[in-house]
Amino acid sequence: MASLNTVKIFSGSQSTYLAEKIAHQYGKDLGGYTLRKFSDGELSPSYEESVRGCDVFLIHSTNPPADNLMELLLMVDAARRASAHYVTVVIPYFGYARQDRKDKPRVAIAAKLVANMLAAAGADRLMTIDLHAGQIQGFFDFPVDHLEGTSVFVPYIRSLNLDNLLIASPDVGGAARARTFAKHFNADIVLCDKHRKRANEIASMQVIGDVEGANVVLVDDLIDTGGTLCKAAEIILEKGAKSVRAICTHAVMSGKAHDNISNSVLEELVVSDTLPMRQLSPKVKVLTVADLFAKAIGRIRDHESISSLFINY
């Protein structure tokens, strides 16, 4: 039986550009919300309308700086204290997901810490898309709806009618992601094996597989500085590929990312709007995930399965 509780959608201060599109696709206006700041930068969010007994959806990415995560935690707490019936955090880009394990001694597992903080704040459910690693879902003790970017990217790649299509991963760790994407096209995959000196700096890279005469699509969950993708594209083209383009769900685009992409051999970089684009580039194409999130919200409201939103291969 469908819930009789009213659905209300709110947006954090940095995700309004996407939240407005999600709310529009869902058929509602965004709820009234105000974020005040003390002179020292302390955040003080408040809802400008009642949420008592409502199913509340809070849309906000947790990308750095830490203020974004802190704002979301305070939004959850405020909704709980205002007697919301059910609080779902909609995090288009789940920040700190790259720190999902101890890859060397004496480091934090930030993704688990964020999960603990969301639970402590009072969140009932998480909705997100293309986590850095799918097993991060296991860090949460409440339901996680993990949407897939393939729902928007696969139709776009199909529309290009590329012959001899080959899917590539810019690193060995993304092999499973590339394989999943390749199954939609019944295509083969190749891997790029990279060795880093330190974060955001590549020491060496080699391509595992034959790319001769292929139209190659590099697939990754996010693009930060763009160094890995641009290096991979360069090597793949040197190995005889006909063309190279890249798909990344989350456009972090820090540092010299835009310059790196503009000066690269990539035909194009296709990203989603989980994060705002600070700068436009002729090589970057942005696809919206607003309709996907809006449909997922509707299915959660009606207690229906969201698996129908995934593309079957």
The pLDDT, as a whole number, for residue 172 is 85
**CATH number for the domain harbouring residue 202:** 3.40.50.2020
Say whether both 131 and 214 belong to one domain. Answer: no
Say whether both 123 and 251 belong to one domain. Answer: no
- Domain of 163 in residue numbering reads as 150-287
Show Cβ contacts of residue 62 under 8 Å, excluding neighbours closer than 6 positions: 68, 69, 72, 91, 93, 94, 95, 96, 114
Over residues 161-180, the mean pLDDT reads 93
The pLDDT, as a whole number, for residue 206 is 87
Say whether both 91 and 141 belong to one domain. Answer: yes
Say whether both 11 and 55 belong to one domain. Answer: yes
17 belongs to a structural domain: yes
99 belongs to a structural domain: yes
Residue 158 pLDDT greater than 90, yes or no: yes
Average pLDDT, rounded, for the chain: 93
The pLDDT, as a whole number, for residue 195 is 67
> Quick one: pLDDT band at residue 2, thresholds 50, 70, 90?
very low
Say whether both 175 and 263 belong to one domain. Answer: yes
Say whether both 123 and 179 belong to one domain. Answer: no
Report the predicted TM-score, pTM, of the whole model to 2 decimal places.
0.93
Over residues 250-260, the mean pLDDT reads 95
Residue 55 pLDDT greater than 90, yes or no: yes
Say whether both 17 and 138 belong to one domain. Answer: yes
> Quick one: pLDDT band at residue 3, thresholds 50, 70, 90?
very low
> Quick one: pLDDT band at residue 312, thresholds 50, 70, 90?
low
The structural domain count of the chain equals 2
Most confident of 50-64, 201-215, 269-283: 50-64
Say whether both 140 and 188 belong to one domain. Answer: no
Say whether both 133 and 176 belong to one domain. Answer: no
Over residues 46-51, the mean pLDDT reads 97
The pLDDT, as a whole number, for residue 1 is 33
Say whether both 168 and 270 belong to one domain. Answer: yes
220 belongs to a structural domain: yes
The pLDDT, as a whole number, for residue 310 is 85
The residue behind tokens 């201060």 is 13
| Max Cα distance, the chain (Å) | 61
The pLDDT, as a whole number, for residue 125 is 98
1 belongs to a structural domain: no
Active site residues: 194
Say whether both 206 and 222 belong to one domain. Answer: yes
The pLDDT, as a whole number, for residue 4 is 55
Cis omega (within 30 of 0) on the bond before 65? Answer: yes
Residue 84 pLDDT greater than 90, yes or no: yes
